Structures are given as C-alpha cells and as structure tokens.
Structure 1
Amino acid sequence: MPPTTLRVFVYGTLKRGGRHHAAHCADALRVRTGCTRGRLVDLPAGYPTLHVPGSSVLAIGTSDLAADAWRGMHCTLPGTPTSEDFIAPALPCALVRGEVIDFADAPAALHRLDKLEEFAPGGISLYLRVLLPVLVDDVLLPCWTYVSPIASAMMPPDCCHH
C-alpha cells in the first residue's frame, strides 16, 4: 500500500486555537471548514464528544494504521447524496461544524491522534475512531473522526474495502 494523506474531522480541542492543535496538528498540510451530522455533548471533564447516527459510519478504525489511512482516502460514499440532502438531517441530529485537517504522514498522524483520544482498537476506549461523510466546500468527503463509543454496538461493519 503506497503512502497516503489523511483527512481528519475535528470539532473540539484539535481545532485551530484549541488546546491540542499546536502540539498535534503542527504538521498539517491544510485546514478547511467542514460539517457532519451528529450532536455535540460537553463532557464534565471540559471537552466535547460527538454522537453520530450509526447510519453515517462508513468504517471503524483498526490497529492497521496504514490500511485505515488508505481506506479513508479511497472509500466510496454510498449513493450520491447532494449537499442539500446532507444539510437536511433527521432529528435528533444536527450539523456539527468543525475543521478538516489534512496530514501528509497518515500512519504517524493516526498513531499520535489515537493516543491523544485514547482509542484502543478492540479494547475499552475513551473515543472510537470512525470514518464519516463530511461536507467540505459543497463536496462530501470521507474523514476520520473520534466519536463517543456509547452507540458503537449500533454501528455497521466496515463498508469500505480495498
């Protein structure tokens, strides 16, 4: 598998100006505004978590960082939803605004972010890394992000193959 870039959707402390951005995103190639379907919940510890509908999950992160990076850049979104379809989500979800950060060294970035977000594939994790459709400049792109694992049992199996 050749090296690839990585797209990550961030909505909290990893955004520009957030307390973890400088330390974990200094090697970003670019940062763009984006949004996805879901609901932000503020945790008592002082940072947010994202709840997403299970139907939005395209894949669940694994310990194979190179394969996950490849999957994130080559996943085909199901159907061909328009940006108008995406902007009219069903309740109780809304559009969650954040940033899409592109990294050149995908496995290194995933390793660093997984550690920060306490994501342990197959184990007990603070966050779950999932691939979601994110609206960026009127185009839907698959992006990795970290969500609340509360509804992980409802999430579908990996739908992106390589």
Structure 2
Amino acid sequence: MPADPAQLPFFVYGTLRTGGRNHAAHLDGLCAAVRPAVLPGAALYEGPGFPYAVPDPGRSVVGELVTVFPAGYPSVLAGLDRLEDCRPDGSGEYVRLRRAVRTADGEHDAWVYLAGPRTAARLRSGPAPVESGDWTRR
C-alpha cells in the first residue's frame, strides 16, 4: 500500500505491462507489486504499435495493477503522463482517470490512461475493438 493515499497504483494494459518496451523504460525496478487485473467498462483499440482503452460498458480490458515504490512515485507519475501525452486540460492523446479495477483479491482504485476525447471519437468510428480485450493476445 502506498504511504500516501493519493499515490494510487496504475492499471497498465499495453506496452507498460511486464515485458513490454515501455515497462522496461519507465517501470522496471520501480514496482513494489505487479498483479493481473481487469478494467471493466472499457474496450481495447489497436493504435500504431500501442493500444488505447475507451469507455464501453459492455467490455473489459486485461492488464496489470502496478504499485510503485513511494520514493519513486512522483517521477514515475510525471514520466507516464509525458509518455501518454496526458495534459491537465484533457487535450492530450490520453487522459489519466481514477477507475476501479478488479484483481483476484477484490476491487482497487487505480490511475488508468484512457484515450482522450478526440482520440476516442476517432477510434469508435473506425475498426472494431480488440475482441479479447488483451493487448498480448490481439
């Protein structure tokens, strides 16, 4: 459990998952815990080499719940916001929102990077979401 309750764990579902290229660059060695998790109420869409999660009440996304060591949390949060082009005004490629995710031991609040409004609208008008909801099984 983080020392600061504002230091929510992160739900990661694409290249930030264990073994992914961005996990190695942004999370490797900084995780206190990594557990399988599911984000209900979202669909997974394929982007150019990385995925997007988009709100969708009938679907779910498979990923991991990542708890970062408290000492490294501020730099990890800033680094992930930069990676995901997450801007305070919501105009970036992604938005970071607090969402409930499920693990084997129950429900947990986590930060989730969802497609920003313009990106989500574009994705919904294009090809169907990844059926499995799992980036590693697309």
- TM-score normalized by the length of structure 1: 0.63
Q: Which residue of 2 aligns with 1:6?
A: 8
Q: Which residue of 1 aligns with 2:75?
A: 108
**Residues 3 and 106, structure 1, Cα contact 8 Å, conserved in 2:** no
**Residues 91 and 116, structure 2, Cα contact 8 Å, conserved in 1:** no
Q: Which residue of 2 aligns with 1:150?
A: 117
Partner residue of 2:44 out of 16, 40, 43: 40
Judged with a 3 Å threshold, the aligned counterparts in structure 2 of structure 1 residues 137 and 97 are, in CA distance, closer, same or farther, namely same
Deviations 1:45-94 (A, max 9, x none): 121100125xxxxxxxxxxxxxxxxxxxxxxxxxxxxxxxxxxxx5xx21
Distance in 2 of aligned mates of 1:149 and 1:3: 30
Deviations 1:11-49 (A, max 9, x none): 000001111111101211110000012100111x12110
- RMSD of aligned C-alpha atoms? 2.1
- Which structure 2 segments of 5+ residues have no match? 120-138
Specify the SS of the correspondent of 1:20.
helix
- Which structure 1 segments of 5+ residues have no match? 54-89, 153-162
Structure having greater relative contact order (Cα 8 Å, sep ≥ 6): 1
Counterpart residue type for residue 31 of structure 1: V
Q: Which residue of 2 aligns with 1:141?
A: 108
Q: Which has the larger share of strand?
A: 2
- TM-score normalized by the length of structure 2: 0.73
Fraction of identical pairs, as percent? 33
Specify the SS of the correspondent of 1:46.
coil
Matched residue pairs, number? 112
Q: Which residue of 2 aligns with 1:159?
A: none
Q: Deviation above 4 Å: which 4+ runs of structure 1?
A: none
